[in-house]
Structure formats: structure tokens, C-alpha cells
Chain A
Amino acid sequence: EPEVTQTPSHQVTQMGQEVILRCVPISNHLYFYWYRQILGQKVEFLVSFYNNEISEKSEIFDDQFSVERPDGSNFTLKIRSTKLEDSAMYFCASSFTGTGGAGYGYTFGSGTRLTVV
């Protein structure tokens, strides 16, 4: 079964450093997403990406964050100048269509646990 792959599984970084979280979405999917989950809390939407541009973003996704699809297979989330409160599980997801469309198949990766110390 196709899956979304995320690397690394765990990243520890010092406050103020930049991190890049990497994702390989399912190959024929067209929409890509990042979500985060602070420990013990619900999953929160960060950003959606389609046709090489951001299509929707949340209030959390401020100038500290950026996304990129550097090639035909990878999708990255960059967090500049990390803060302690950025510590969370970050999930990448992809889908063939937008939310609720036919052939939906919104699939999440296993996540990257980011710890900012």
C-alpha cells in the first residue's frame, strides 16, 4: 500500500536553530499538507500546497515557517529560528484531490518528533 514517508523520525535542535523536516508524498498525489500535534493535544493544520504554491495556511504558519517542493518527490517544511513551543510531532500528508473530493485518499505519514531544547 502506498505510504507517505517522513524523515527524520526524531529531530533534536537547539533553540534558535533552523530545521528542515522532509517528506516524500505518495507519488500520484497532487495536494500536500503539514500538520502538527503538540504532545497530548489535537492535530492542527499548518499548510496545504498545490501546483507549487501554498493554497491555504493557518495562523500558526507565520513567517517562521516555509514549505518547498524542491523536486518531483520531496516536500519539506522549514522552521527558522526554532522556539521551545515548536516542539511537537509534525505530520506530512498528501491527497490526490482536495479535501472531500472524489478519490480523496488523504494519507498521513508517521511524523517527525521535533524537540527544541
Chain B
Amino acid sequence: GESVGLHLPTLSVQEGDNSIINCAYSNSASDYFIWYKQESGKGPQFIIDIRSNMDKRQGQRVTVLLNKTVKHLSLQIAATQPGDSAVYFCAEKGGAQKLVFGQGTRLTINP
């Protein structure tokens, strides 16, 4: 069945350092992936997406890398700030309209 998983449940980094959050997916036919940020008490917030015909996509302070060979997705956050503390989910297009979410990684920024 479809599944999207994360390598690490928690990640702590120093403020100003770069963060890398990883995600493995199982459906080799998936053609669209998204990273979401979820702060406490809020809904998932779109960060960045990538289609399967790309290997890399950059946004503001964020980069998503897609390795289709090993079915791996990563989110890089540059110069992390206290406001980056949240749970990060990867999600893949699992059907015509639905998203399949991974378990989530809690990112903590240490001052």
C-alpha cells in the first residue's frame, strides 16, 4: 500500500545552522510531493512542492531534493530561525486528489 515515512522523529539544531529533514516514500509511481510545516494548534502550512520530473527545487531559505532512484525526499532549511520550530511533514500525491502524509519530524531550534 501507499506509505510515506520519515527517517527521524525529532531533530534539534542550533539557531543559524542549516537543517535537513528526510523522508522516504514507497510508491515509485508518485509524481508530486509536498513539504508542510505544522505549528502547534494549527493546520499544515504549505512550504514547497516538487514534481517527479525535477530533482531539486528552491524557495526562500528552503530547498527540496528528490531522489527517485532511492525514493527519498529531503527538505533543507537554511539559517534556521526560532520560528522554524514546528513539525514537518512530507506528503505525496496518493490518488486523484488526496495527499498521503508521513509521520512528521519535530524540528527544535536551540538558541
Whether the pair B46, A99 counts as a contact (CB closer than 8 A) is: no
- B residues contacting the other copy or chain, number (CB 8 A): 26
Q: A91-B43, A106-B34, A111-B43 are in contact. Are A99 and B101 (CB under 8 A)?
A: no
Task: Indicate whether B41 reaches chain A with its CB closer than 8 angstroms.
Answer: yes
- A residues contacting the other copy or chain, number (CB 8 A): 28
* Residue among A48, A99, A108 making CB contact with B44, cutoff 8 Å: A108
Whether the pair A42, B97 counts as a contact (CB closer than 8 A) is: no
Task: Indicate whether A58 reaches chain B with its CB closer than 8 angstroms.
Answer: yes
Whether the pair B89, A100 counts as a contact (CB closer than 8 A) is: no
Residues of B contacting A31 in the complex (Cβ-Cβ under 8 angstroms): 97
Over the window 64-98 of chain B, the binary record of Cβ atoms lying under 8 Å from chain A Cβ atoms (1 yes, 0 no) is: 00000000000000000000000001010111111
Task: Indicate whether A56 reaches chain B with its CB closer than 8 angstroms.
Answer: yes
The smallest C-beta distance from B50 to any residue of chain A, in angstroms, reads: 10
Whether the pair A100, B44 counts as a contact (CB closer than 8 A) is: no
Task: Indicate whether A43 reaches chain B with its CB closer than 8 angstroms.
Answer: yes
Q: A108-B44, A110-B42 are in contact. Are A100 and B51 (CB under 8 A)?
A: yes
Q: Report which B residues bind A (CB closer than 8 A).
A: 31-32, 34, 36, 41-46, 49, 51, 89, 91, 93-104
Q: Report which A residues bind B (CB closer than 8 A).
A: 4, 31, 33, 35, 41-45, 48, 50, 55-56, 58, 91, 93, 95, 98-100, 104-111
